[in-house]
Structure formats: C-alpha cells, structure tokens
A and B are shown apart, each in its own frame.
Chain A
Amino acid sequence: DTGVSQNPRHKITKRGQNVTFRCDPISEHNRLYWYRQTLGQGPEFLTYFQNEAQLEKSRLLSDRFSAERPKGSFSTLEIQRTEQGDSAMYLCASSFGFFGEGGKPQHFGDGTRLSIL
C-alpha cells in the first residue's frame, strides 16, 4: 500500500505565474478529492472526481483553477495567474465507493504547500 502521493511537496512562485500540482491516489481507489487548507483551519473541499468524471466543484474553485483526471488515475490541479490569497496547503485524498455511496473513508496525501511571493 503506497498511499496517496503528491508532487511537488513545496512550490514557491511569483504572483501571476501558473502552477500545476499532481496527485497519485491509492491504486484501487476510484474517487479522488482536492482540498485546500490554510493556517489554523481545517481542509476545505475544492473538487471531486468519480473515475475520470469531475462531479462537483466548490464555489472556492474560481475560473483560474482547473482540475483533471485523465483515464481515472492520477489528477492534476492547475492554478493560473496566481494571487497572494492562493497561498495554502493543497491536499489530495482518495477513496473507493460505488456511485451513490456516501461517507466512505478518505485517505490523504501529505499535500503541496504553495507560497506566492
């Protein structure tokens, strides 16, 4: 069991640049989630995939954010024209569940910490 893997672990970039993060879920998991966590807060939901289909997006996910999960395996989260407020820990989680099944345990990666200069 290799767990959820996220790369890079840290990203420092200048305001206005584009960044892309990658998440490799646990191999048998068909669901993949992205969350964002700022200092002193719990993670907040961004988006969710069931296999390759993106089924829900939070209002936190502005049009500068895009997420993909081609072939239902790994996922990427891209932020265009980064802003100071994008500085946060971006967490990926995965789980297994059939369509319509809620409440399945989610397993998290160690996140990508984004710092905007």
Chain B
Amino acid sequence: TQLLEQSPQFLSIQEGENLTVYCNSSSVFSSLQWYRQEPGEGPVLLVTVVTGGEVKKLKRLTFQFGDARKDSSLHITAAQPGDTGLYLCAGTSSNDYKLSFGAGTTVTVRA
C-alpha cells in the first residue's frame, strides 16, 4: 500500500510553461525525498526536505515541505524538454529507514 498520493498522474506541457506536482499523505513524515527517473534507469535523488515549511531550490526546481510534514510540492519554472521524466516522492517515518514511494507523476515537456 502506497502511503503517498501523487497528483496529477500525467502532465504534458509546452516548453517554457510552469508546472507543479503534488505529494500528499495522511501520515507525518520525518523526511521526504524527491527523485526523477528515466525509462530503464534508477531513480536519481533531487532533494531531501526534513523541516516543516522548508523550501529548497535547485535551479528551476522549487521544493516545499508542508508545515505539518504531511505533504510536499515540486514546482518547475520554464520547463525544458530535459525535464521530461517520472517524478517520485518518497517519505520516511521517524526512526525508520525504508522509503515509502508515491506512484509517480509522468511529466512530458514538448519542444
């Protein structure tokens, strides 16, 4: 059972547009990680957030962790075709080691 729900499941936009992916749960997480995965490859870690309300920026990507540490969002500004991929959020509970993943959001950026 996936504890994290991601929305939307699919997102197709034109190059230069902005997009936001959401990750929601009824559970509190001690940390939340975002990954990007391309077909036939493993997930690549983008960011880890641990503090409620935390905002992290990675070039055109902005990650936010909800105040209650139950939800997160990923915002991409001026998307490029290279941003195409499966975006996964994953959380860990307090003192736990394993990641619980959402089902992912498939993002397609058209040139």
Q: Name A residues whose Cβ lies closer than 8 Å to a Cβ of B.
A: 4, 6, 31, 33, 35, 40-45, 48, 50, 55-56, 58, 91, 93, 97, 100, 102-111, 113
Within 8 A of A (CB), among B40-67: 40-45, 48, 50
Q: Is the CB of B99 within 8 A of A110?
A: no
Q: Is the CB of B97 within 8 A of A97?
A: yes
**Chain B binding surface SS class:** loop
On chain B, which size bracket covers the interface?
20 to 34
Within 8 A of A (CB), among B64-105: 88, 90, 92-104
Q: Which residue of B lies closest to A33 (CB)?
A: B98
- Contacts A42-B90, A43-B43, A113-B40 given; does A102 touch B99 at CB 8 Å: no
Contacts of B97 in A (CB 8 A): 31, 33, 48, 50, 55-56, 97, 102, 104
CB distance from A57 to the nearest CB of B (A): 11
In the bound assembly, the distance between CA atoms of A50 and B33 in angstroms comes to: 20
Contacts of A113 in B (CB 8 A): 40
Q: Is the CB of A103 within 8 A of B43?
A: no
Q: Is the CB of A42 within 8 A of B101?
A: yes
How many CB-defined contacts (below 8 Å) exist between A and B? 75
Q: Is the CB of A103 within 8 A of B98?
A: no
Contacts of A111 in B (CB 8 A): 41-42
Give the interface centre of B4, B30, B50, B90 by most chain A CB atoms within 10 Å.
Answer: B90
CB distance from B27 to the nearest CB of A (A): 14
Q: Which residue of B lies closest to A46 (CB)?
A: B98
Contacts of B43 in A (CB 8 A): 43, 91, 108
Contacts of A106 in B (CB 8 A): 33, 45, 99
Contacts of B99 in A (CB 8 A): 33, 35, 43, 45, 93, 106
CB distance from A71 to the nearest CB of B (A): 20
Give the interface centre of B35, B40, B99, B100 by most chain A CB atoms within 10 Å.
Answer: B99
